[in-house]
Amino acid sequence: MGKPTGFLEYLRELPLDRDAAARLDDWREFHSALPVAKLQEQAARCMDCGIPFCHTGTLLSGMASGCPIHNLIPEWNDLVYRDLWREALERLHKTNNFPEFTGRVCPAPCEGSCVLGLNAPPVTIKQLECAIVDRGWLEGWVVAEPPAVRTGKRVAVVGSGPAGLCAAAQLNRAGHTVTVFEREDRLGGLLMYGIPNMKLEKDQVQRRVELLAQEGVQFLPNTEVGRNYPAQRLLREYDATVLCTGATQPRDLPVAGRSLGGVHFAMEYLTANTRRLLAGQPHEGDLSAAGKDVVVVGGGDTGTDCVGTALRHGCRSLVQLEILPRPPQERAPDNPWPEWPKVYRIDYGQEEAAARFGADPRVYLTTVKEFVGDGAGRVRELVTVQVGWEKNAQGRYVPAEVAGSEQRRPAQLVLLALGFLGPEQPLLEQLELARDERSNVSAELGRYATNVKGVYAAGDCRRGQSLVVWAFHEGRGAAREVDRYLMGSTDLP
């Protein structure tokens, strides 16, 4: 490494985000960047560790450990330290088609398995990744690179989310003619409509789509395969198809009063908000939090995004319910390195809520028992109960209601951020695809081939709800296997 003693000389340092209270007045990205000299110091903290667990990309205890797309992290850290930024960008692009996305929205499992993290704060890998690609765009180093030769093979990619864009980019790089089908009016899938603007500004997504178009990828928005484009037509007109439709079937909360107005799925709320923002329209009506008591049910990333969005709408009060216990401040004995550290964190939404209302909005070990209406068909309040986790007859922990713990909470807007059950089924049924016990497309990891010849599946529709970086891993992997299927061999990584 460029500075073998850097991890001894420099402390972990992150740039200060924009003030939590002030940034609630806009929808701009809230992160900032360190000066170049400081970034080089942070890169110098990368150890000459011998076995860099940061890019192993495996699952430990059901969670990602290391980078799923195997970013060559020590190599580009060294290049940043030596002020070789363009070379760092080239090294980063070898494994990551869109580092500006992961550099902003990935939870950084690489940092959770950083060797330095054994006894010190880990290297700021995510920040450095973002800094490299942002400089690449600023300097004009990120340019269209269309393939020199076309193979004559046509490939359809259904879905323009993280997996779909990666599959399209790689297949186009191999020289195939790629068409991406997207049912929404704008391209990007989850990146466009599922992640709020303050986490990922939409011009970041649009410029990558435009670059792919310059490289020869054809995009068909407003085209839903199986509805206004026959599914069987894909099999007739394309040599191969990659399904990257995501896991968009939300998990519901079937308790009394669920049908009341004002109770919505989180993605319905976030999508409507982004549509209005992009159209320059005010946030009004049923899906606005302005002046309302808001309850977010679910403590994950999507729940946090709902918190940040509701605050920007100007909600009157905000509570976030989490059915799990509050994580510990430090790793528990049963959560050793290099597993993902299950520790208490304050994300951007909770930080903003604390700035507005004075405290972290999360209430742990709590769930909804009933939604109560106002007599006119709309939710007025909800009844919550505390839960304890007990082992059932099969030895699995399940939540059990704590007697006498009922509490009424005001709520005119309830957002259900409880995760997703799997992909929507109509298209899969039309193509007669085999599915697994969780309703996902059945396709072996590493091969991605379905039971229908020439049809492949990647991302959340195959593996279930997961991280953007796993979608990148699968999109790239499916492209490799499609190229092998079409050409007999492949040079794609």
Q: What is the pLDDT of residues 311-349, one digit of tens each?
A: 999 999 999 999 999 999 999 999 999 999 999 999 999
* pLDDT tens column, 368-421: 999 999 999 999 999 999 999 998 888 899 999 999 999 999 999 999 999 999
Does pLDDT of 96 surpass 80? yes
Say how far apart CA 64 and CA 410 lie, in whole Å: 37
Residue with tokens 């794609």, as numbered in its chain: 492
Same fold, 154-248+421-487 and 252-418: yes
pLDDT tens-digit map of 212-226 = 999 999 999 999 999
- Say if CB 350 and CB 306 are below 8 A apart: no
Using DSSP's 3-state secondary structure scheme, residue 64 falls into strand
Report which of 353, 369, 378, 363 is spatially closest to residue 408, judged by C-alpha positions.
369
Structure tokens at 182: 């997207």
Q: Please choose, from the candidates 100, 107, 124, 106, the residue with its C-alpha nearest in 3D space to the C-alpha of residue 38.
A: 124
Average pLDDT over the chain reads 96
Q: Determine the pLDDT at residue 282.
A: 87
Q: Shortest CA distance to 431 belongs to which of 256, 226, 294, 290?
A: 226
Hey, how many other C-beta atoms are within 10 angstroms of the C-beta on 292? Answer: 21
**Single-letter code of the amino acid located at 435:** R
Specify the pLDDT at position 333: 94
pTM over 0.85: yes
- CA–CA gap between residue 37 and residue 98 (Å, rounded): 25
CB 423 within 8 Å of CB 465: no
Q: If you write DSSP's letter for every residue of 367-426 in order, what string do you get? A: EEEEEEE-SSSBEEEEEEEEEEEEE-TTS-EEEEEPTT--EEEE-SEEEE---EEE--SH
Q: Are 72 and 56 in contact (CB under 8 A)?
A: no
Digit-coded pLDDT (tens) for 160-213: 999 999 999 999 999 999 999 999 999 999 999 999 999 999 999 999 999 999
pLDDT (mean) for 472-485: 98
Give the span between the Cα atoms of 442 and 287, in whole angstroms: 36
> Once rounded to an integer, what is the mean pLDDT over residues 249-258?
97
Distance separating alpha carbons of residues 71 and 125, to the nearest angstrom = 10
Residue 441's pLDDT is 98
Contacts of 138 (CB under 8 A, 6+ apart): none
pLDDT beyond 90 at 1:
no
The SS3 of residue 238 is coil
Structure letter (DSSP) for residue 117: G
**Whether 80 contacts 88, CB under 8 Å:** yes
Q: How confident is the model at residue 125 (pLDDT cuts 50, 70, 90)?
A: very high
Backbone angles phi, psi at 311, to 5 degrees: -65, -40
CB 155 within 8 A of CB 452: no
Largest Cα separation within the chain, whole Å, is: 71
Q: Where do the domains of the chain lie? A: 6-139, 154-248+421-487, 252-418
Report the 10 Å Cβ neighbour count for 81.
22
DSSP lists the bridge partners of residue 413 as 294
Would you tell me which CATH number, out of the four given (3.50.50.60, 3.40.50.300, 3.30.1130.10, 3.90.79.10), belongs to the domain 154-248+421-487? 3.50.50.60
Please give the Cα distance from 133 to 325 (Å, whole number): 37
Nearest one of 128, 69, 51, 75 to 337, comparing CA atoms = 51
Query: What's the fold here for domain 252-418?
Result: FAD/NAD(P)-binding domain (3.50.50)
Per CATH, the homologous superfamily of domain 6-139 is Alpha-helical ferredoxin (1.10.1060.10)
**So what's the pLDDT on residue 155?**
98
Q: Which residues of 177-199 are buried (b: 16+ CB within 10 A; e: fewer)?
A: bbbbbbbbebbbbbbbbbbbbbb
Per-residue pLDDT averaged across 290-295, rounded?
98
Confirm if 40 and 13 have CB atoms less than 8 A apart.
no
Average pLDDT over residues 99-111: 96
Please choose, from the candidates 420, 485, 423, the residue with its C-alpha nearest in 3D space to the C-alpha of residue 455: 485
